[in-house]
Amino acid sequence: MTMTVIEARSLTKTYLTQAEQVVALNEVNLTVKTGDFIIINGPSGSGKTTFLNLISGLDLPSAGEVLLNGQVLHTLSDNQRTELRLRQIGLIFQSFELIPVLTVFENVEYPLVLQRLPRSERRNRVNRILAKVGLEKMANRFPAQLSGGQKQRVGIARALVTRPQIVLADEPTGSLDSSTGEQILRLMLELNNTYKVSFLIVTHDQAMKKYARRLLEIRDGVLTEKECYTDVQDRLSQYSAQ
Ligand SMILES: Nc1ncnc2c1ncn2[C@@H]1O[C@H](COP(=O)(O)OP(=O)(O)O)[C@@H](O)[C@H]1O
Ligand SMILES: [Mg+2]
């Protein structure tokens, strides 16, 4: 059964600077269902990071609202929002945001420590997800000893280890070369299939659009749905490869 995970309703964010008022997001509506694989494509400064910060409750809207599992985020306390984010949302960043003094295993384990899970449960979950992202042999390395693609695999494992309902990724391929970036997108698609966890990816990278199961564009804070022929393209490319 598909369910609504996140709903943005008339979401608006304005920033006041000394000189002017910037409308970073303008009445954005979006409903994310279980198992969705959504890509939002838009140029630098179009409002992508602002949108993710509001969706995850890291920042509060100027108008409109975000519902996570039917709960309106801005009516919760900071602590309640933090708790909800830790349990329901996985975050992936352009610059990975790994903790340099922790090993790969410890980085992935960290959110489970915050959740106060018992050590044996933590070890099981970390080992399983590291195997899924192909890093089982790297568990004892430190981030500085990894390639960019490997670092982002750690980021993906850390986002999924808490078994969230949705993973939000902000320019996940922005620090990677194009072929590594495509591998990362394919891994995310595979994990979306395996775990039925929703993915919402924002990127300025046009090359990532072909991986969308649902594609939207954002320009100057305005979000628009694009027609998505991905499924047809998949079948055509398989057909022509025969
Ligand atoms: N803290 C802030 N103060 C003022 N303006 C901001 C702030 N954060 C973002 N903006 C502005 O909001 C717009 C959207 O920014 P952002 O969401 O970071 O875009 P993107 O992630 O697509 O590059 C830009 O015009 C940016 O300059
Ligand atoms: Mg951004």
Domain contains 139: no
How many domains is the chain partitioned into structurally?
Answer: 1
Look at residue 239 in the predicted model and tell me its pLDDT.
72
AA letter at 7: E
Q: At what angle are helices 148-160 and 119-132 packed, to 10 degrees?
A: 130
Own/partner contacts of 133-137, CB < 8 Å, gap of 24 or more, are 133/157, 133/187, 133/191, 135/104
Question: Does 15 contact ligand 1 (Cβ within 6 A)?
Answer: yes
User: Is residue 144, in this structure, part of any structural domain at all?
Assistant: no
Angle at 154 between CA 49 and CA 126, to 5 degrees: 125
Q: Is 140 within the bounds of a domain?
A: no
| Strand order, beta sheet including 63-68 | 21-33, 4-16, 63-68, 71-72
- 174 phi/psi in degrees, rounded to 5: -60, -25
Along the chain (242 residues), what's the average pLDDT of each consecutive run of 10 residues?
92 93 97 96 98 96 96 95 94 97 98 96 98 97 98 98 97 96 95 96 95 96 86 67 64
H-helix or E-strand containing 180?
helix 178-195
Instruction: Give the per-residue pLDDT at 94.
Output: 96
Instruction: Write down the pLDDT at residue 234.
Output: 66
Ligand 2: centre distance to CA 136 (Å): 31
User: Would residue 123 count as lying in a domain?
Assistant: no
What per-residue string of b and e applies to 17-26 under the rule 16 or more CB within 10 Å gives b? eeeeeebbbb
* Whether the model pTM is above 0.85: yes
* Predicted pLDDT at 162: 97
Residue 13, domain member (yes or no) = yes
Q: What pLDDT is stored for residue 19 in this prediction? A: 85
* H or E element at residue 183: helix 178-195
Whether residue 157 is contained in a domain is answered as: no
CATH number at residue 228: 3.40.50.300
- Could you tell me if the CB of 50 is within 6 A of ligand 1? yes
Which string of DSSP letters, residue by residue, matches 43-107? Answer: -TTSSHHHHHHHHTTSS--SEEEEEETTEEGGGS-HHHHHHHHHHHEEEE-TT----TTS-HHHH
DSSP state of 35: T
Q: How far apart are CA 219 and CA 217, in angstroms?
A: 7
Domain assignment present for residue 41? The answer is yes
Residue nearest to atom 26 of ligand 1 (CA): 45
Any domain includes 130: no
Q: What is the pLDDT of residue 153?
A: 97
Ion ligand 2 contact residues with beta carbon within 5 A: 48-49
Range of the domain at 78: 4-99+164-241
Q: What is the pLDDT of residue 170?
A: 98
Give the pLDDT of residue 229: 66
Choose the residue to mutate in 48, 50, 55 for probing ligand 1, maximizing ligand atoms within 8 Å of C-beta.
Answer: 50
